[in-house]
Amino acid sequence: MTPIARERHVLRGRYPDGLICGVCALLLATRPESYAKSNLTEAERLSYVCAECRLTRAATGRAAGIRRDTLARNRKATGTPGPVLLYGGSPEGHDPDEEIQGDADIVFRYSPGNTSRFRPRRGGRPALAQPERHRRARETNRARQRTYRLRHRRP
Residue 108: per-residue pLDDT: 53
pLDDT tens-digit readout, 120-136 = 666 666 666 677 778 88
What is the SS3 assignment for 59? Answer: helix
The residue ranking higher by pLDDT, 102 or 138, is 138
pLDDT tens-digit readout, 46-83 = 999 999 999 999 999 899 889 888 888 888 888 777 66
**3-class secondary structure per residue, 105-154:** CEEEECCCCCCHHHCCCCCCCCCCCHHHHHHHHHHHHHHHHHHHHHHCCC
CA-to-CA distance for 55 and 71, rounded, in angstroms? 24
Q: Residue 34 is part of which domain span? A: 3-90+104-115
Task: Assess if residue 127 is contained within a domain.
Answer: no
The residue ranking higher by pLDDT, 6 or 110, is 6
Task: Assess if residue 55 is contained within a domain.
Answer: yes
Q: Count of CB atoms within 10 A of residue 11's CB?
A: 17
Task: Assess if residue 29 is contained within a domain.
Answer: yes
Task: Assess if residue 128 is contained within a domain.
Answer: no
Residue 111: per-residue pLDDT: 56
Q: How confident is the model at residue 105 (pLDDT cuts 50, 70, 90)?
A: low
Residue 90 Cα distances to 55, 86, 94, 113, 132, angstroms: 44, 10, 7, 27, 60
The alpha carbon of 155 is separated from its chain's Cα centroid by a whole number of angstroms, namely 66
DSSP codes joined into one string, 2-49: -HHHHHHHHHHHH-TT-EE-TTT--EEESSGGGGGGG---HHHHHT--
Task: Assess if residue 145 is contained within a domain.
Answer: no
Number of structural domains found in the chain: 1
Residue 119 has pLDDT above 50, yes or no: yes
Task: Assess if residue 28 is contained within a domain.
Answer: yes
Task: Assess if residue 95 is contained within a domain.
Answer: no
Task: Assess if residue 120 is contained within a domain.
Answer: no
What does pTM read for this prediction? 0.46
Residue 132: per-residue pLDDT: 76
